[in-house]
Amino acid sequence: MTGSDPTRRTRHPWFAGEHPRVLAHRGFVSADDAGHGIVENSFLAVAGAHALGVDYVESDCHLTRDGVPVLFHDEDLARVTGDPRAVAAVTLRELDGIMADRGGLITLAQALDSFPDLRFNLDVKAADAAAQVGATIAPYAERVLLTSFSDARRREALRAAEAAGAEMPPATSAGSATVARLLGALAVRSSRLAGRLLAGVDALQVPERRGRVRILTPRLVETAHRFDVEVHVWTVNEVTDMERLLDLGVDGIVTDQAHVALKVAERRR
């Protein structure tokens, strides 16, 4: 989508990976690994995605009781570990022990340090985590895309990265409110409003539908591309859906089946 047009935005280094993009959702856990107790968003899950050869890992950030950003999706530990406590209620040491036989805890700093050739798509899940996530990613901003359902939380993390001395801002994708307003702009065919809404983001990361509302449409993809914004769809695990979405023009697939999506993407390159 880049070209010689001088009015087009400069492409962020996060997008230097291969297109169409395969984003390994919470890392990658094979069926065999899952049978041995390995869980999503663990050190071994990120290592598993890296071993597949993906460029991108999609993950989530919460804060431990002692203020350390960790890769974890849920607000509490119940689904993944059986422990009913909130992530924010346990210390890093406690969480490290809980995750020891589940693939190992991985902090945000460890992920960025241990896998220097991976690019991370990070969803700031907890409001209290935004500032610390932003500060942590500052030295790695060229290979981080920040997102959150909350635009306010996303912007707070971006400001924190800048305040911590990031040489460039991380890439970023729109929150739910921005996506909703964009859908409204498309409904009334306001290209000007769409352009204003997309001016501050590098990507739209959306599901195909939210309830009865169809979010992903040819018009959304076309409009995003007109303003040099990529479209990534989550969470897509069936080959037929991957093929259909790539035919529609989406730029990235967020998937639990990264080993499958890589084969689909390779046929498009």
Which residue is associated with the tokens 């920040």?
Answer: 146
Which residue is associated with the tokens 């499958």?
Answer: 260
Strands 119-124 and 203-206: unpaired
In angstroms, rounded to a whole number, what is the distance separating the alpha carbons of residues 208 and 153? 23
Strands 213-214 and 209-210: antiparallel
232 catalytic? Reply is no
In angstroms, rounded to a whole number, what is the distance separating the alpha carbons of residues 35 and 260? 19
36 catalytic? Reply is no
List, in sequence order, every residue forming a beta bridge with 207; answer none if it has no partner: none
Catalytic-role residue among 19, 50, 62, 73: 73
List, in sequence order, every residue forming a beta bridge with 233; answer none if it has no partner: 206, 253
Catalytic-role residue among 25, 62, 232, 259: 25
- In terms of residues, how long is the chain? 269
Strands 119-124 and 21-25: unpaired
CA distances from 20 to 69, 171, 249, 266 (A): 29, 17, 9, 8
Residues recognised as catalytic: 25, 73
